[in-house]
Amino acid sequence: MAASVLSFLLATAMLLGAGGAAVAHDELTGTVPAEGATVAVLPPGVELSFTSVPSGIGAQVEVLDESGEDWAEGPAEIVDRTATQALRANAPAGEYTVSWRVVSSDSHPIEGIFSFTTQQGSTASLDSVSTAGPAEVQDDPVAGSQTAGVSDFPWSIVLMIAALVVIVGVLAFTARKRLGGSR
C-alpha cells in the first residue's frame, strides 16, 4: 500500500513539475521605437526585447506603413534577448504598424502588434548607415552573448518524455507486483 501511495505522489509531482515550464512563455519587455512613440526620423531598424532569448526559428517581423506596404528588409536577427528587423531605404514619413511573431524559448510561438509614428522618412538602409563612415571595430565578441538559431533545443519536451517514461515504469512495476503477489 505504501508503494502505491509513493508511486502516486511521485507521478503527481512529476506531472506538476513538467507543467510549470510550459506556462512560462517569454514576454515582450520593450520596443525601439516605443509603442505609440513619435520619432523625428525613421530608424534603420526596429528592435524587440524579450524576457529570454527567443528561438531563431520562424521569427517574423512586418513593418507596415499606412498604405500596407511592408518596409522590413531581410529576416529578423536575434541576438541575446533582442530581435532586430532592418528597414528598407526611402520609407515615407507617417504611422507604422509592427506585427511580430517569434518562437519563445519554451518552443511556443508568441506574437504582438505595436505602432509608432515618424515625422520624416528614411533615406538610408541599415547597411549603408553602418558603412557610411569610420566605425569602431570590436575584436572580442561580447562575453555571454547568445545568438538564437537552429541549435536551440526544446528541453521541455525532453523533460516531459522522461517524466512519462518514469511514470509508465512506476505503474508497470506496481502492476507487476500486484499481479505477482495475488497468485
Name the amino acid, one letter, at 51: T
At the topology level, CATH places domain 2-132+144-181 in Immunoglobulin-like (2.60.40)
- Cite the beta strand spans of 27-161 per DSSP E: 28-32, 38-41, 45-50, 55-64, 77-79, 82-86, 94-103, 109-120
User: What integer pLDDT is reported at residue 132 of this predicted model?
Assistant: 42
Joined together, the cell numbers standing for residue 93 give 514619413
- Alpha-carbon dihedral of residues 35, 39, 41, 42, nearest 10 degrees? 10
The total number of residues shown for the chain amounts to: 183
| pLDDT computed for residue 136 by the predictor | 43
pLDDT at 126: 46
Rg (CA), the chain: 25
Q: HSE of 71 in the Cβ direction (CA atoms, 13 Å)?
A: 29
List the domain boundaries for the chain: 2-132+144-181
Q: Hey, is 65 helix, strand or coil?
A: coil
Res 138: pLDDT: 42
Mean pLDDT, consecutive 10-residue stretches, the chain (183 aa), reads 65 61 77 97 96 91 97 96 96 97 92 97 56 41 47 67 90 86 57
| Angstrom distance (rounded) from CA 128 to CA 175 | 69
Q: What is the pLDDT of residues 120-131, one digit of tens each?
A: 988 754 444 444
User: What pLDDT, on the 0 to 100 scale, is given for residue 21?
Assistant: 47
Output the pLDDT for position 133.
Answer: 40
Express each pLDDT in 98-149 by its tens digit: 999 999 988 899 999 999 999 998 875 444 444 444 434 344 444 444 545 4
pTM listed for this prediction: 0.59
